[in-house]
Amino acid sequence: MTDRLFPTQEIGSLMKPRWQLLGQRGEPLDTAAQTDFARWNDLLHFVPGDDPMVRKFLGDRSREVGADTVRDWAALFMIRYLEATGLDRVYDGEARRIEMYEYPVRQMRGFQFLGHVRSFDNKYYLKAAGTGEVRLDRPYHVEEFEFVRDHAKATPKLPITGPYTLADWSYNEYYLRRHEGWKGPEVRRSAQRDFVVEIAKQAIRPTLAALIEKGCKVIQIDEPAAGTHPHEAEIVAEAFNAATEGLDAEFSMHICFSDYRPLFPALLEAKRCTQWAWEFANRDTDGRDGYEILKMFNEYGDTRQIGLGVLDPHRDEVESPERVKDRILRAVKILGDPRRIWVNPDCGLRTRRLDIAYAKLQNMDRGAKLARAEFASRAG
């Protein structure tokens, strides 16, 4: 835990560099990928430039390097990239992960993948059905965390998909089938609760326990689906508590691009959550105050930490340090206690080019410094 005001943290995945994608496939790097690798390595020194393997990689023998080494380099690159922007808490930009649903589900029994469902336009995701009792094959993200733990200078914060989102993005057959008769709204809700809590207890909690045993102290549980069915917010909270029960770590809950109002007050029952890391900057446009929603925490007397989204991941525009400072100070004005605020992007910056994401994160750090300075001058 940092003692300074407005500490900064990452919140999710970053765009994979082209050299990683080509390298993992064993394809030779083109000139653009070679230049990109060399440029970032000059800046961040994530691998020794005179390493024979690096020379092979930048030559035309990338196949000899192997996908595992390339992934390690990508993870190292992301760690150094995030640290260089001044963040207090970092991870590896989820460099080893393809997505946040299929991989966790494949570590569990009781699921069967059925096919692709359209998310929008020509974008799809592979969707599974819960067809049996949920059981964990083996805890996941553990080796990934150990690598970050062993290489990061800043505190690692591990992101993991939450039980509600895993259930919501799946079909519920097994727990629905246990109810006889017509499956109306009440039956569906009850079966969904059983499904979500079972994932929390049987799969997420043992995984978290394994991670904590390896030294993981800060864990972000991602629940992007929490806003999809606001009337199920109490299930989100119950599952969060079940997944974290008896475990000793800091747990935050990340939600984004949702209407948060209907989640109050039911979501606040997630008693073991120490920080709400939500998206705000995205809605802080066109004359709207994206931080007004923070008043809801005051309304319900919730005084937990806020992971304050100050960067919009959907725009190339790099927020100025002054804008970041303004957003932080507006949040302080609403919440009162500046010690409650952590500063982060709204969500993962994976949709932005790495140079743009880097500039955004640098300005986030500068904005937090400006906000600190303002507080210091007030105190002085």
Partner 1 sequence: MQTVTSLTGAFPRSEVLVEATRDLDRGRTTPEAVQELVLRTEADVARLEERLGLEPPTGGYLRWQDLFRPFAETWEGFTVGPLTRWFETNQFYRQPILHAPPARVPGAIASWLPPAGKSGPHPRKAILPGPYTFSGLVDNRSGETSEALTHRLGRLLGEEVHELHLAGYTAFQFQQPLLVSHPPEGVRAEAVVAAYKAIETAAAGATTAVWTFFGDAQPSWPLLTRLPVSLVGVDLSETDALKLAPSTERRGLGLGVIDPRTSLVEDPAEVVRLARSIAERHRPSTLWIGPGAPLDLLPWEPATRKLHGLPAVRQGLESLGGGS
Residues near 184 by beta carbon (within 8 Å), at least 6 away in sequence: none
Residues near 57 by beta carbon (within 8 Å), at least 6 away in sequence: 19, 23, 29, 37, 65, 70
Q: Using CB under 8 A, which of 172, 275, 344, 363 touches partner 1?
A: 172
Q: Where are the alpha helices (DSSP H) in the chain?
A: 18-24, 31-44, 52-58, 67-84, 102-106, 142-151, 163-168, 174-177, 185-199, 205-213, 233-244, 295-299, 321-335, 354-379
Interface with partner 1, residue 198, by CB under 8 A = no
Interface with partner 1, residue 15, by CB under 8 A = no
Q: Which amino acid is at 19?
A: W
Instruction: Please identify, using beta-carbon distances, which residue of 188 and 369 lies nearer to partner 1.
Output: 188
Give bridge partners of residue 115 from the DSSP assignment. Answer: 127
Interface with partner 1, residue 278, by CB under 8 A = no
Q: Where does this chain touch partner 1 (CB under 8 A) — which range of 136-144, 168-176, 196-204, 293-301?
A: 168-176
For the bound state, the minimum distance from the C-beta of residue 131 to partner 1, rounded and expressed in Å, comes to 9
Interface with partner 1, residue 181, by CB under 8 A = yes
- The Cα 292–Cα 276 span in angstroms is 15
Q: Where does this chain touch partner 1 (CB under 8 A) — which range of 8-16, 83-91, 119-127, 133-141?
A: 119-127
Interface with partner 1, residue 228, by CB under 8 A = yes
Residues near 248 by beta carbon (within 8 Å), at least 6 away in sequence: 212
- The Cα 257–Cα 15 span in angstroms is 19
Interface with partner 1, residue 178, by CB under 8 A = no
The gap between the terminal CA atoms of the chain, to the nearest Å, is 24
Q: Using CB under 8 A, which of 114, 142, 247, 359 touches partner 1?
A: 114
- The Cα 128–Cα 35 span in angstroms is 40
Q: Is the dihedral of CA 9, 139, 190, 183 positive or negative?
A: positive
Q: Using CB under 8 A, which of 56, 63, 97, 127 touches partner 1?
A: 127
Instruction: Please identify, using beta-carbon distances, which residue of 248 and 286 lies nearer to partner 1.
Output: 286
Instruction: Please identify, using beta-carbon distances, which residue of 73 and 101 lies nearer to partner 1.
Output: 101
Q: Using CB under 8 A, which of 168, 194, 326, 365 touches partner 1?
A: 168
Interface with partner 1, residue 121, by CB under 8 A = yes
Q: Using CB under 8 A, which of 39, 48, 99, 119 touches partner 1?
A: 119
CA-wise closest residue to 16 among 25, 4, 28: 25
- The Cα 262–Cα 232 span in angstroms is 10
Q: Using CB under 8 A, which of 15, 38, 53, 129 touches partner 1?
A: 129
Number of residues that bind partner 1 (CB under 8 A): 30
Q: Using CB under 8 A, which of 117, 245, 299, 353 touches partner 1?
A: 117
Interface with partner 1, residue 176, by CB under 8 A = yes
- Residues near partner 1 (CB under 8 A): 114-122, 124-125, 127, 129, 168-169, 171-173, 176-177, 181-185, 188, 225, 228-229, 257
